[in-house]
Copies of this chain bind each other. A is one copy, B any other.
Amino acid sequence: MKKLKILLVIADGLGDRKVEALGGQTPLQKANKANIDSLLRSSLVGLMDPIGPGVVPGSDTSHLAIFGLDPRKYYKGRGSFEALGAGATLNEGDVAFRGNFATVDNDLRVVDRRAGRKIEEADDLVKELNSKIDEVQGVKVRFYHGTEHRVSLVLSGDNLSDKVSDTDPHEIGKRVLHSEPLDGSLNSKRTAQIVNDLTKRMFEVLSKSKFNEKRESEGLPPANIILLRGASVHTELPKLKDYTQLSSAAVSATALIKGVCKSIGMEVITPPGATGGIDTDYIAKADAAANLLKDHDLVFLHIKATDAASHDGKALEKVKAIEMIDKAIGKVLDTFGSDIILLFTGDHSTPVELKEHSGDPVPVLLYAPVNIAPDSVNSFDEISVRKGSLKIVGLNIIDLLLNYSNRASKYGA
């Protein structure tokens, strides 16, 4: 039997509830999604609980599960995924922090937690930090710029711990916090001291930076500190290639997701125009995915726009994002329609009226151009798919993909 290629499309935060602004329909019900609905003629559909019924997933834990790694065993926190997504190379034991460029006064009181958010000089400031602060107390220090005000910090050395508290006070007017050890270990005490020393040195370097001088001369708030949070220790994860034999690549513009993909050994592409927001270039992402399908077994296309619209409570934007995803899927199918299986789902629900992740199950569609008897469902949405045959959790997905692409190995004899 011919091995088929696999296209996995995840619309972040796809699942929803009835939305008043949409006349009581869900965004999936409302959206014109002719390409997706046309796949129903040869698809299984149903509901997926990414982690388990009622459990509210983060995007990181959910993606781990969908890639076949139980987050309860493998998830160690967000920091190292963000750092990987921002371009870091991590080694076992490195401690990564998420950070914000922020504006503080001379007393280290927070004036702007994001230093204006759009910081043109962010790359330059990160470069300056890396050139002027190479190490603290013998520990190697590296900064990586994510998007806008976002920065990752990585500490590399022996005897480090991620059991240290944040320096981010999460509130304007409060002073930058001292990092404190969160357990009684010497490693935590040492790491907290390093973080506190580093905070002082960052302020010294950034306060004097010509890039901040320029910002102030333009009336912009200086990015004179990095507020740190969410320390996490990097541990190597199993590689998708090793546990599935699939060569794989991902198309994503979201640091967290890019980091998850890199951590399991996937090649990660962010094509020009892909933003991780509702203004992303869907067709550029579809083209990138189609291109990667030529020489990879599995291509993962991640679209953040649905989640971004949901967090902002913008129902119509979410509908539009789904319609653009439908076009993107159509584009890939035009090229590979009879040679790929396609799984389309979300990593969790983010109901637009809730504006937050929820534990509601997510619709899932598995299209396979093989002789499976399709489920008798004529629309892909939260309500219609309840009549479908899939009732799965995230951890089931890799096995389903391997099975319907004719790539699964027999378990037993």
Asked if B392 and A53 sit within 8 Å, CB to CB, the answer is yes
Nearest residue, chain B, Cβ from A82: B413
Asked if A78 and B413 sit within 8 Å, CB to CB, the answer is yes
Chief secondary structure at chain A's binding surface:
loop
- Say whether, besides A382-B373, A408-B54, A409-B56, A47 and B389 are in contact (CB < 8 Å): yes
- Say whether, besides A354-B1, A403-B360, A412 and B371 are in contact (CB < 8 Å): no
Name the one of B18, B404, B411 contacting A61, with C-beta atoms under 8 angstroms.
Answer: B411
Name the one of B59, B403, B412 contacting A359, with C-beta atoms under 8 angstroms.
Answer: B403
Name the one of B75, B356, B386 contacting A412, with C-beta atoms under 8 angstroms.
Answer: B75
Given contacts A1-B354, A230-B413, 18 further A-B contacts (CB under 8 A): A17-B370, A52-B396, A53-B400, A54-B397, A56-B408, A56-B410, A56-B411, A58-B412, A61-B412, A62-B412, A71-B411, A71-B412, A78-B413, A357-B410, A359-B399, A375-B386, A386-B388, A391-B391
The 4 closest A-B pairs by CB, nearest first: A58-B412, A61-B412, A54-B399, A359-B403
Q: Is A57 an interface residue (CB 8 A)?
A: yes
Report the minimum CB–CB distance from A342 to chain B (whole Å): 15
Name the one of B18, B57, B391 contacting A372, with C-beta atoms under 8 angstroms.
Answer: B18
- Chain B residues within an 8 Å CB radius of A77: 413
Asked if B413 and A256 sit within 8 Å, CB to CB, the answer is yes
- Chain B residues within an 8 Å CB radius of A115: none
- Chain B residues within an 8 Å CB radius of A358: 403, 408
Q: Which of A234-257 contact B (CB under 8 A)?
A: 256
Report the minimum CB–CB distance from A362 to chain B (whole Å): 12
Q: Is A26 an interface residue (CB 8 A)?
A: yes
Q: Is A402 an interface residue (CB 8 A)?
A: yes
Asked if A411 and B373 sit within 8 Å, CB to CB, the answer is no
- Would you give 16 A-B contacts (Cβ < 8 Å), ordered by A? A17-B372, A18-B371, A26-B373, A52-B399, A53-B392, A54-B396, A54-B402, A56-B410, A57-B411, A59-B413, A61-B413, A357-B410, A359-B402, A359-B408, A375-B386, A391-B391
Nearest residue, chain B, Cβ from A17: B371
Q: Is A55 an interface residue (CB 8 A)?
A: yes
Asked if B56 and A396 sit within 8 Å, CB to CB, the answer is no
Report the minimum CB–CB distance from A145 to chain B (whole Å): 19
